[in-house]
């Protein structure tokens, strides 16, 4: 009689328990908020699977895929049930998280851990989670369908083996470029390289060309143009079309002749493209007749032209310190379309009659010809209003101030919030180095031009909406209550009183109370950061910030493609097959890219400015203001350079600091020393690293 071996029941029981435990651990993780599609090795590492259990864990994963509880795609495991998939372009924030444009609903927030290895502008497929956070719906990137960049710009920071290591601001410090090069490169070389392979940890690339060295400030703009792939320069055909109109207007045709009207332009000192001019009279009834005259770019740039293709490819001009990358060739942007003084120019005019209470009595929109009598800078116009300079246009400017106050009052009554923030302009020398930071006060001359442009844009949007046309609106969705909580805490930490559940009027009153406070800039920035970004849309979602139901961009067609489309709509010159929705999405995307490009250069220039001061006096101490306190760090702004810095909690001082979430502050356990938002501190600059574009500070 043959003996048979029996299985050990205790071993079988242990295996079942182990399998059950592994299954529970796995499903708790993949169904949790922090899960992102992961490779087998990722899961082993994250869940600390012992080497001896790897084979069982792999069989377990395959079994879950077979049962359709998990999905295996692109070498990664992800949830298969109840998938809500969305495809769109991802926008990556410098802190690592992102947002994906969703054509069917609000943008989807992607936490840093769920971005996968996507970079800014990639077309991705995401799974939208059922969890809705303060930032809106959340999602996870499960696949990258199309890379936005085949080339990357970077700065060489070292070498490893046969590869040079380059830092790219677009990828951040956590992801490096490994560059193969037959040429010898050195630390600080700014390069353009072609991507060979996108990896989780790094990017493999091959050198295409060297732009120069990071020490050469003159190439900052060119490097940004390359880095963000901005179209630069125009085709011969587009330039030929622009020049074909000549340099002056000899016949105005059937346009309304406004060349005898008292009309002026008011722009920044450095402006070269003047696309708006103003006329204003008051009648016997005390009604204001406001003429907003906008360069008629639609007359020159027509559908099907090379000029239109080039403008659509750009969607906007990009403004760097001292340099403009224009949407249109200079023959139009700086000449024939620009409302230069003493010459006839073609315009589209919004003529509005407004009473003393700010009510719109009636309006007209028509094509016109004007001759600007005077080109004012904001500084010149303000000097005239302050009676520091004489001008025959002083009465006109005074009328503008009167109407400005009326419109501002009306805007306040409907719930709009006025920040009146001071701007900062970098003044560069011929080597591209900053000489100084110039404060530009948001005085009454800036305010009145803004009010007139807002009114014209509102009138045009309402007019087109009533006609039932598909419009590119400038929309600004209302933020959620949760998104405002940080701002409320910030305002209270600064000492401003707010009810437990503040209304829009409460916020208005708070900003009025903060009007003369040194904390107004930080308060304004905090408020803006709590709101959603304004964008272009063919759906009229309203404009929360301006408290308007109908709003579009019409007043800057030289530098914005959306405005050019609106001009065509006004006079039925938009082809019937035009995809307005696509144009709105493209304008939003290009605007975002231009903003990032501009910000990258401004940040680098500010670092250069700080470094110049450091070289002159390494021990100099600078006043700063704490702008934000988080559980792990405090953030501050050095006003002399408009630079933000931060300290980790361990760098604050020789004490154990505890975080108080109720007033967002740190307090030393031994010394009782407190750090809170709005507090003034003294800091010292220790180092500027141009290779990674970071400044290191210490508390003085």
Residues 391 and 452 in one domain: yes
SS3 180: strand
Distance CA 259, CA 444 (A): 27
Residue 371, both tokens: 């001759």
Do the Cβ atoms of 683 and 624 come closer than 8 Å?
yes
Identify the pLDDT of residue 83. Answer: 57
What are the E-state strand segments in 401-525?
423-428, 434-440, 473-475
Q: Which of 183, 214, 245 is at the close of a domain?
A: 214
DSSP category for residue 52? G
Residues 27 and 135 in one domain: no
For the segment 289-305, the average pLDDT, to the nearest whole number, is: 98
For the segment 399-428, the average pLDDT, to the nearest whole number, is: 89
Element (H, E) at 348: strand 344-354
Residues 441-445: contacts with CB under 8 Å, at least 24 apart: 443/378, 443/382, 444/382, 444/385, 444/401, 444/404, 445/266, 445/376, 445/378, 445/381, 445/382, 445/385, 445/397
Within-domain flag for 229? no
Identify the pLDDT of residue 530. Answer: 80
Identify the pLDDT of residue 5. Answer: 46
Identify the pLDDT of residue 505. Answer: 83
Confidence class for position 9, pLDDT limits 50, 70, 90: low
Q: Which carries the bigger pLDDT value, residue 402 or residue 423? A: 402
User: 């989780």: which residue's tokens?
Assistant: 200
Element (H, E) at 377: strand 374-377
Residue 668, both tokens: 């030393």
Distance CA 48, CA 258 (A): 77
CB atoms within 10 A of CB 659: 16
Identify the pLDDT of residue 544. Answer: 87
Residues 196 and 261 in one domain: no
Region of residue 230 (left: phi > 0; alpha: psi -120 to 50; beta: else): beta
Residue 61 lies in domain: 10-79
For the segment 685-692, the average pLDDT, to the nearest whole number, is: 93
Q: Which carries the bigger pLDDT value, residue 488 or residue 685? A: 685
Residues of the chain above pLDDT 90, percent = 56
Residues 393 and 424 in one domain: yes
Distance CA 678, CA 495 (A): 9
Element (H, E) at 570: helix 561-570
Residue 664 predicted with pLDDT over 90: no
Identify the pLDDT of residue 1. Answer: 43
Residue 300 predicted with pLDDT over 90: yes
For the segment 287-311, the average pLDDT, to the nearest whole number, is: 98
Residue 540 predicted with pLDDT over 60: yes
Q: For 316-342, give the secondary structure using H, E and C.
A: ECEEECCEEECCCCHHHHHHHCCCCEC
Helices and strands in the chain: count of H runs, count of E runs = 16, 33
Element (H, E) at 568: helix 561-570
Q: Which carries the bigger pLDDT value, residue 517 or residue 263? A: 263
Within-domain flag for 510? no
Tell me the per-residue pLDDT of 483-531, one tens digit each, with 9 for 90 and over.
Answer: 788 788 888 878 888 888 888 888 888 888 888 787 788 788 888 878 8
Question: Could you tell me which residues come within 8 angstroms of residue 680 by beta carbon, excluding any fewer than 6 positions away?
Answer: 623, 624, 625, 626
Identify the pLDDT of residue 33. Answer: 59
Distance CA 312, CA 307 (A): 9
Residue 645 predicted with pLDDT over 90: yes
Identify the pLDDT of residue 285. Answer: 96
SS3 79: strand
Average pLDDT, the chain: 89
Residues 105 and 68 in one domain: no
SS3 556: coil
Tell me the per-residue pLDDT of 597-617, one tens digit each, with 9 for 90 and over.
Answer: 999 999 999 999 999 999 999
Where does residue 210 rank: exposed (0-12), middle (13-18), buried (19+ CB within 10 A)? middle
Confidence class for position 165, pLDDT limits 50, 70, 90: very high
Within-domain flag for 169? yes
CATH of the domain at 42: 1.10.10
Q: Which of 44, 79, 114 is at the close of a domain?
A: 79
Within-domain flag for 410? yes
Within-domain flag for 607? no
Residue 559 predicted with pLDDT over 90: yes
Distance CA 233, CA 482 (A): 45
Confidence class for position 104, pLDDT limits 50, 70, 90: low
What are the E-state strand segments in 93-135?
98-100, 108-110, 123-133
Distance CA 652, CA 631 (A): 13
Residues 75-78: contacts with CB under 8 Å, at least 24 apart: 75/39, 76/37, 76/38, 76/39, 76/42, 76/142, 77/30, 77/37, 77/38, 77/39, 77/40, 77/43, 78/30, 78/37, 78/38, 78/127, 78/140, 78/142
Element (H, E) at 281: strand 276-282
Within-domain flag for 378? yes
Identify the pLDDT of residue 11. Answer: 55
Q: Which has the minimum average pLDDT: 10-14, 94-98, 657-661?
A: 10-14
Within-domain flag for 137? yes
Residue 237, both tokens: 């055909």
Q: Which has the minimum average pLDDT: 104-108, 121-125, 240-244, 577-581?
A: 104-108
* Count of domains observed in the chain: 5
Residues 170 and 318 in one domain: no
Residues 368 and 447 in one domain: yes
Do the Cβ atoms of 384 and 391 come closer than 8 Å?
yes
Do the Cβ atoms of 405 and 424 come closer than 8 Å?
no
Q: What value, to the nearest 5°, has the Cα angle with vertex 322 and ends 317 and 327?
A: 15
Distance CA 639, CA 623 (A): 7
Do the Cβ atoms of 553 and 566 come closer than 8 Å?
yes
Residues 208 and 115 in one domain: no
Confirm whether pTM is higher than 0.75: yes
Q: Which has the minimum average pLDDT: 22-31, 146-155, 243-252, 633-642?
A: 22-31
Confidence class for position 139, pLDDT limits 50, 70, 90: confident
DSSP bridge partners of 628 = 635
Identify the pLDDT of residue 120. Answer: 85
CATH of the domain at 172: 2.40.50.140
CA quadruple 356, 362, 368, 373: dihedral, nearest 10: 0
Residues 545 and 595 in one domain: yes
DSSP per-residue string spanning 530-554: HSPPPEEESS---BTTTTBSS-B--
Residue 3 predicted with pLDDT over 70: no
Where does residue 439 rank: exposed (0-12), middle (13-18), buried (19+ CB within 10 A)? exposed
Within-domain flag for 136? yes
Tell me the per-residue pLDDT of 323-361, one tens digit each, with 9 for 90 and over.
Answer: 999 999 999 999 999 999 999 999 999 999 999 999 999
User: 């795609």: which residue's tokens?
Assistant: 73
Give phi and psi for 66, each to the nearest 5: -60, -35
SS3 419: coil
Q: Which of 552, 568, 601 is at the close of a domain?
A: 601
Residues 164 and 141 in one domain: no
Element (H, E) at 278: strand 276-282
Q: Which carries the bigger pLDDT value, residue 361 or residue 124? A: 361
Residues 383 and 308 in one domain: yes
Alpha helix positions (H), 467-557: 481-493, 504-513, 520-530
What are the E-state strand segments in 410-476?
423-428, 434-440, 473-475
Residues 296 and 385 in one domain: yes
SS3 148: coil
Do the Cβ atoms of 334 and 242 come closer than 8 Å?
no
Identify the pLDDT of residue 2. Answer: 44
Distance CA 33, CA 43 (A): 15
Residue 251, both tokens: 């016949």
Identify the pLDDT of residue 488. Answer: 85
Identify the pLDDT of residue 133. Answer: 63
Residues of the chain above pLDDT 70, percent = 95
């Amino acid at each position: 009689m043959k003996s048979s071996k029996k299985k050990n029941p205790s071993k079988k029981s242990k295996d079942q328990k182990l399998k059950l435990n592994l299954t529970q651990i796995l499903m708790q993780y993949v169904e949790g908020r922090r899960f992102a599609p992961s490779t087998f090795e990722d899961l082993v590492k994250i869940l600390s699977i012992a080497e001896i259990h790897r084979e069982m864990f792999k069989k377990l994963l395959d079994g879950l895929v077979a049962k359709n509880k998990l999905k295996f795609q692109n070498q990664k495991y992800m949830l298969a049930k109840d998938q809500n998939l969305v495809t769109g372009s991802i926008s990556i924030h410098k802190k690592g998280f992102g947002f994906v444009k969703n054509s069917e609903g609000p943008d989807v927030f992607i936490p840093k851990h769920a971005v996968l290895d996507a970079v800014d502008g990639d077309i991705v497929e995401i799974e939208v989670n059922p969890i809705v956070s303060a930032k809106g719906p959340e999602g996870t990137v499960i696949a990258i369908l199309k890379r936005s960049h085949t080339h990357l710009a970077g700065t060489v920071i070292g070498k490893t083996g046969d590869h040079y290591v380059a830092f790219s601001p677009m990828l951040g410090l956590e992801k490096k470029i490994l560059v193969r090069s037959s040429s010898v490169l050195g630390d600080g070389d700014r390069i353009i390289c072609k991507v060979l392979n996108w990896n989780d940890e790094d990017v493999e690339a091959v050198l295409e060309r060297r732009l120069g060295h990071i020490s050469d400030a003159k190439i900052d703009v060119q490097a940004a143009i390359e880095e963000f792939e901005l179209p630069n320069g125009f085709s011969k055909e587009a330039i030929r079309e622009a020049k074909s109109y000549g340099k002056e207007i000899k016949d105005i045709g059937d346009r309304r002749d406004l060349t005898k009207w008292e009309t002026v332009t008011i722009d920044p000192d450095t402006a070269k493209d003047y696309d708006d001019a103003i006329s204003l009279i008051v009648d016997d009834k005390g009604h204001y007749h406001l003429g907003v005259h906008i360069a008629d770019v639609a007359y020159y740039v027509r559908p099907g032209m090379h000029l239109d293709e080039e403008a659509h490819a750009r969607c906007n001009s990009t403004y760097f310190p001292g340099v403009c990358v224009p949407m249109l060739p200079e023959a139009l942007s700086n000449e024939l379309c620009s409302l230069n003084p003493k010459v006839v120019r073609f315009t589209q005019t919004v003529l509005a009659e407004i009473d003393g209470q700010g009510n719109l009595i009636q309006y007209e929109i028509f094509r016109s010809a004007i001759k600007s009598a005077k080109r004012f800078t904001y500084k010149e116009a303000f000097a005239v209003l302050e009676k520091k300079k004489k001008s025959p246009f002083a009465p006109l400017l005074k009328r503008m101030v009167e109407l400005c106050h009326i419109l501002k009052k009306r805007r306040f009554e409907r719930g709009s919030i006025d920040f009146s923030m001071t701007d900062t302009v970098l003044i560069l020398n011929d080597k591209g180095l900053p000489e100084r930071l110039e404060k530009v006060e948001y005085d009454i001359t800036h305010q009145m031009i803004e009010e007139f442009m807002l009114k014209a844009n509102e009138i045009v949007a309402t007019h087109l909406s009533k006609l039932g046309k598909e419009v590119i609106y400038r929309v600004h969705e209302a933020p959620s209550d949760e998104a405002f909580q940080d701002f409320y805490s910030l305002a209270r930490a600064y000492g401003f009183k707010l009810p437990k559940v503040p209304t829009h009027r409460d916020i208005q009153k708070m900003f009025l109370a903060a009007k003369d406070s040194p904390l107004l800039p930080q308060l304004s920035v905090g408020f803006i950061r709590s709101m959603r970004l304004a964008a272009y849309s063919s759906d009229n979602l309203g404009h929360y910030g301006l408290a308007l139901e109908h709003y579009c961009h019409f007043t800057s067609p030289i530098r914005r493609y959306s405005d050019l489309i609106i001009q065509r709509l006004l006079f039925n010159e938009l082809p019937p097959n035009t995809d307005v929705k696509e144009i709105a999405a493209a304008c939003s995307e290009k605007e975002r890219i231009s903003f990032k490009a501009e910000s990258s250069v401004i940040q680098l220039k500010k670092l250069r400015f700080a470094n110049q001061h450091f070289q002159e006096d390494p021990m100099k101490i600078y006043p700063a203001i704490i702008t934000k306190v988080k559980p792990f760090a405090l953030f501050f702004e050095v006003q002399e350079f408009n630079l933000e810095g931060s300290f980790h909690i361990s760098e604050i001082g020789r004490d154990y600091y505890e975080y108080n979430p109720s007033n967002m502050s740190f307090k030393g356990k031994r010394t009782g020393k407190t750090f809170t938002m709005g507090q003034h501190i003294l800091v010292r600059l220790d180092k500027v690293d141009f290779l990674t574009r970071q400044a290191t500070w210490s508390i003085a």
